[in-house]
Structure 1
Amino acid sequence: MGNFAKVRPIGRRRDGRPIYPIKGGAPTLTEQRDAIVAQLQDPNFDGDVDELLQRADQVAAQIEQANQRDARLRALKAASLPAGDPDPDTRVQPGMQPDDRGNPDPVSVAEAFVRSKALDAYRAGGMRGKFGLDFSQPIETRDAPAGTVTTGTVPQQNTRVPGIIPQNPDLPLLVANLLDRQTSDGTTLEYLRDTSGPQATWNKAAVVGEGKTKPMSGPFSFDTITTTLKTVAHWVPITRQAADDNGQLMGYINGRLTYGLEYKLDREILNGNGTTEVQGILTTPGIGSYQPPAPAAGEDPDVKLITVRKARTQAELALYPPDAVVMNPIDWQDIQLDEDANGQFRVISNVTDQGAPMRLWGLTVVTSVAMAQGTALLGGFRMGATLWERQGITILMTDSHGNFFIENTLVILAERRANVAVHTPAAFVKITFKAATS
């Protein structure tokens, strides 16, 4: 007989017959392990030891993952549904409901996140390392408990009944939604800011008779503004056990991360310093201002309702028609509760429907605590400024932070990159209200 090396089987079929490796085929994990063990035990091995150790770690991790999958598979096959439990294929999990029109597609960042195949693969791999997903603007948000989430934060239910999670009410209109929104291809933003002032100062267009000299408009003046897109971000810790629950995960993403970014960006759009922060409209040189004149002796100053109307006239005279006004909730309350001499509200609003659009003198009203009480910002927001975004909201998950790995804790991080180009400051008017004297 020839001198052939004995080939060992790498497994057995269901009928008990051995399975031998295919000649020239990729080595199995068992073959890789045995080969590395032989090299580690060989005192005469003269190869790259560091590379050998790295291969040993990789194969050991793959074997451990295979063992975990096998254990999960055996446990899953041994599990049985309780009596009356619906078919898993027909059950509606939290965050998996269709949208208002019955479409199966997700309607929020959280739903897209928990439905993603990437999250399933991350869980199947033991939730090691990190992965991330990029999403566009979310539509709805949800509040969630603060602090590190554990399985005890939100009690587990034995049976999940479809429809137990109601649709969230729409959030108040955000300041960011008033602006024109564009996508940036880079990290540096360069634009021209019109510093010519109101159109009435430079527009010299006129009817000219035949043979007469035409008027010259101007002067025009522009500043070249160069800035960078700013990163707005924050993160929360969550245990691996809690990360396995889609309802808690969706609550965290919506309540603490997604809305938190919108909340901060809204304040930056109004008050950002433009250097280390987003460019705020109120901190941009060249915006207009209106303050009611001092009243005559014995008279009260203009009420806030009248002040807003006169500020609108000032914006219209500058030939930049306004479309919205942003004010502090206390000032909006004063306007809504303002009464005439007969005790009748001057502003007619539907007190039974707080979800109705807020309007004043034809302007969309946005309330924000970022606007200082006693002031307001009126303007043509889409005409005067553009919100540039490098990306939508990005959600990242990892265990690579401090000693989180050994504590079975993960980090969920949300971030976005954006800045505001206030290219026409004259389109905005800052209002300063006068306090009543009586």
Structure 2
Amino acid sequence: MPQSLIEQRDEIIALLRDPDYDGDLDELDQRAEEIERKIEAANRRDARLRALQSAALPAGDPQPQPGQRREQPGMQPDSQGTPHPVSAAEAFVRSKALETFRANGHVGKFSIEHRDAPAGTVTTTNGVPTRPERQPGQIPLNPDFPLLIANLLDRQTSSGNTLEYVRDTSGPVAGAGTWNKAAVVPEGTMKPQSGPFSWDTITTSLKVVAHWVPITRQAADDDGQMVGYINGRLTYGLEYKLDRQILTGNGTTEMQGILTTPGIGSYQPGVGSTDVKLITVRKAKTQGELALYPPDAIVLNPMDWQDIELDEDQNGQFRVIANVTDPGAPMRLWGLTVVTSVAMAAGTALLGGFRTGATLWERQGIKILMSDSHADLFLANTLVILAERRANVAVHTPAAFVKVTFAAAT
């Protein structure tokens, strides 16, 4: 039986690694190049196949020929060509529960839970978290800036509703010498003890974020409209609120916001300082580095980011933006990922090692419920779609964050 490409590749790799191989090296190199070329061709063919499988015909195209089938909303394959739901909305419209609900004349209620990407994974491009792709549908009522704050954090899954974690209350340090007593120790002598450290055990619960919208029975029978409602209004609204809770949640009746957590660092230019915001961010970054928690991102109010982007040198050239015609360029400043949010008060910013300092714990993915049991809407031939998720933020290392206060404009 002829060898597969993988078997041929492995055979050549073994020969290249063999220090005692005494065959023709030139001939072996030629075989390696040929196998590499064939594998690359196979990969290109596979990528083209996946692209064709996921391609959708534009509106107005002829109907599929016999033997072909145009995919309906919620039936599209994912980016790898795998035909399974890739969003909460798609999982919902493809569910057996919805099919049964429709067959029963929209009577009763049911729910579908859909988990997001695997816990702890974040899609990135050149180290910058990317905005999740959205399916076309309803336009959000209150458009906002890209929701990326949650993607800055370590994200994990909780199996219960109680969240208990240890918070480091040692506070920022001036340098490794204040707590790190590691040293070269002569044989037979006492080893040094590092510290001091102090910890608090925090016990809280995962918080429910939820909202609902009305939908007509006719719209509930249209998969395209259902996907639009769930993605455009419900899912977006949960993400919108989650981002703001991560920043400013009060930690009792709400999630634990980073800005409301005791022990985070702070930086503010001295009285009379003329430092512009660009310089202030750089000095605050140094403070984070001295605390031994190198910052990786900064959250800014859109007005403050505007001031930084429009900062010019003596020649009238922008200092931060090299090409104003490229709206897709990653937002970066002093090596930090920049996230803008109206939840951040103007004149302030939050800088920190987000993945080091906090974890977003999620009990479940987005849960979608539908019911005809709303007293007022039932008589109006209208249903209810509700979306909810359970989550909370564990700010276990407050010293990893620095709240920045910019100097007042003069």
Band the TM-score falls in, shorter-chain normalisation:
0.7 to 0.9
* C-alpha deviation, 1:228, in angstroms: 0.7
Which entry has the higher C-alpha Rg, 1 or 2?
Answer: 1
Q: Which amino acid aligns with 2:314?
A: A
From 137, 144, 147, the counterpart of 2:138: 144
Partner of 2:296: 323
Q: Which amino acid aligns with 1:337?
A: L
Query: 1:53-110: per-residue Cα shift (whole Å, max 9, x none)?
Result: xxxxxxxxxxxxxxxxxxxxxxxxxxxxxxx865796233334333444443332221
Q: Which amino acid aligns with 1:91?
A: R
From 234, 239, 251, the counterpart of 2:228: 251
Once residues 100 and 106 of structure 1 are traced to their aligned partners in structure 2, the CA distance between those partners, rounded to angstroms, is 11
Preserved contact between residue 336 and residue 349 of structure 1 (Cα < 8 Å): no
Once residues 332 and 227 of structure 1 are traced to their aligned partners in structure 2, the CA distance between those partners, rounded to angstroms, is 34
From 217, 221, 238, the counterpart of 1:261: 238
Once residues 435 and 143 of structure 1 are traced to their aligned partners in structure 2, the CA distance between those partners, rounded to angstroms, is 42
Q: Which amino acid aligns with 2:323?
A: N
Preserved contact between residue 147 and residue 239 of structure 2 (Cα < 8 Å): no
Q: Which amino acid aligns with 1:140?
A: E
Once residues 143 and 330 of structure 1 are traced to their aligned partners in structure 2, the CA distance between those partners, rounded to angstroms, is 29
- In structure 2, do the counterparts of structure 1 residues 292 and 415 end up closer, same or farther at CA, with 3 Å as the change threshold? same
Residue pairs, 1:211-290, within 5 angstroms: 214-290=191-267
Alignment partner of 1:176 is 2:150: yes
- In structure 2, do the counterparts of structure 1 residues 196 and 121 end up closer, same or farther at CA, with 3 Å as the change threshold? same
Once residues 211 and 275 of structure 1 are traced to their aligned partners in structure 2, the CA distance between those partners, rounded to angstroms, is 51
Once residues 305 and 109 of structure 2 are traced to their aligned partners in structure 1, the CA distance between those partners, rounded to angstroms, is 45
Residue pairs, 1:26-37, within 5 angstroms: none
Partner of 2:345: 372
* C-alpha deviation, 1:211, in angstroms: 5.9
Query: SS of the residue aligned with 2:89?
Result: helix
Once residues 408 and 123 of structure 1 are traced to their aligned partners in structure 2, the CA distance between those partners, rounded to angstroms, is 14
Q: Which amino acid aligns with 2:165?
A: Y
- In structure 2, do the counterparts of structure 1 residues 287 and 185 end up closer, same or farther at CA, with 3 Å as the change threshold? same
Partner of 1:135: 114
Query: SS of the residue aligned with 1:305?
Result: helix
Query: SS of the residue aligned with 1:220?
Result: coil
- In structure 2, do the counterparts of structure 1 residues 87 and 405 end up closer, same or farther at CA, with 3 Å as the change threshold? farther
Preserved contact between residue 287 and residue 425 of structure 1 (Cα < 8 Å): yes
Which stretches in structure 2 are left out of the alignment for 5+ residues? 1-61, 118-131
Residue pairs, 1:68-217, within 5 angstroms: 86=64, 90-137=69-116, 139-141=132-134, 142=136, 144=138, 172-199=146-173, 200=175, 201-209=178-186, 214-217=191-194
Partner of 2:52: none
CA RMSD of aligned residues (A): 2.3
- In structure 2, do the counterparts of structure 1 residues 85 and 205 end up closer, same or farther at CA, with 3 Å as the change threshold? closer
Query: SS of the residue aligned with 1:205?
Result: coil
Partner of 1:432: 405
Preserved contact between residue 108 and residue 140 of structure 1 (Cα < 8 Å): no
Alignment partner of 1:346 is 2:319: yes
Residue pairs, 1:274-313, within 5 angstroms: 274-295=251-272, 301-313=274-286
Q: Which amino acid aligns with 2:388?
A: E
Query: SS of the residue aligned with 1:352?
Result: coil
Partner of 1:11: none
Query: 1:21-70: per-residue Cα shift (whole Å, max 9, x none)?
Result: xxxxxxxxxxxxxxxxxxxxxxxxxxxxxxxxxxxxxxxxxxxxxxxxxx
Query: SS of the residue aligned with 1:404?
Result: helix
From 373, 381, 398, the counterpart of 1:408: 381
Query: 1:365-410: per-residue Cα shift (whole Å, max 9, x none)?
Result: 1111111111110101111001011101000011111143333211
Preserved contact between residue 140 and residue 232 of structure 2 (Cα < 8 Å): no
Q: Which amino acid aligns with 1:187?
A: N
Query: SS of the residue aligned with 1:311?
Result: helix
Once residues 146 and 182 of structure 1 are traced to their aligned partners in structure 2, the CA distance between those partners, rounded to angstroms, is 28
Tell me the TM-score normalized by structure 1.
0.70
* C-alpha deviation, 1:343, in angstroms: 0.7
Once residues 416 and 247 of structure 1 are traced to their aligned partners in structure 2, the CA distance between those partners, rounded to angstroms, is 23
Preserved contact between residue 196 and residue 202 of structure 1 (Cα < 8 Å): no
Query: SS of the residue aligned with 1:417?
Result: strand
Preserved contact between residue 297 and residue 336 of structure 2 (Cα < 8 Å): yes
Tell me the TM-score normalized by structure 2.
0.75
* C-alpha deviation, 1:137, in angstroms: 2.4
Query: SS of the residue aligned with 2:375?
Result: coil
Q: Which amino acid aligns with 2:223?
A: N
Partner of 1:22: none
- In structure 2, do the counterparts of structure 1 residues 371 and 145 end up closer, same or farther at CA, with 3 Å as the change threshold? closer
Query: 1:324-345: per-residue Cα shift (whole Å, max 9, x none)?
Result: 1111111111111100111111
* C-alpha deviation, 1:217, in angstroms: 2.3
Which stretches in structure 1 are left out of the alignment for 5+ residues? 1-83, 148-170
- In structure 2, do the counterparts of structure 1 residues 350 and 111 end up closer, same or farther at CA, with 3 Å as the change threshold? farther
Once residues 326 and 99 of structure 2 are traced to their aligned partners in structure 1, the CA distance between those partners, rounded to angstroms, is 41
Partner of 2:13: none
- In structure 2, do the counterparts of structure 1 residues 178 and 399 end up closer, same or farther at CA, with 3 Å as the change threshold? same
Once residues 343 and 107 of structure 1 are traced to their aligned partners in structure 2, the CA distance between those partners, rounded to angstroms, is 47
Q: Which amino acid aligns with 1:427?
A: A
Alignment partner of 1:399 is 2:372: yes
Q: Which amino acid aligns with 1:346?
A: R
Preserved contact between residue 280 and residue 406 of structure 2 (Cα < 8 Å): yes
Once residues 140 and 349 of structure 2 are traced to their aligned partners in structure 1, the CA distance between those partners, rounded to angstroms, is 32
- In structure 2, do the counterparts of structure 1 residues 146 and 431 end up closer, same or farther at CA, with 3 Å as the change threshold? closer
Once residues 92 and 221 of structure 1 are traced to their aligned partners in structure 2, the CA distance between those partners, rounded to angstroms, is 58
Q: Percent identity?
A: 76
- In structure 2, do the counterparts of structure 1 residues 433 and 140 end up closer, same or farther at CA, with 3 Å as the change threshold? same
Query: 1:139-173: per-residue Cα shift (whole Å, max 9, x none)?
Result: 433552689xxxxxxxxxxxxxxxxxxxxxxx825
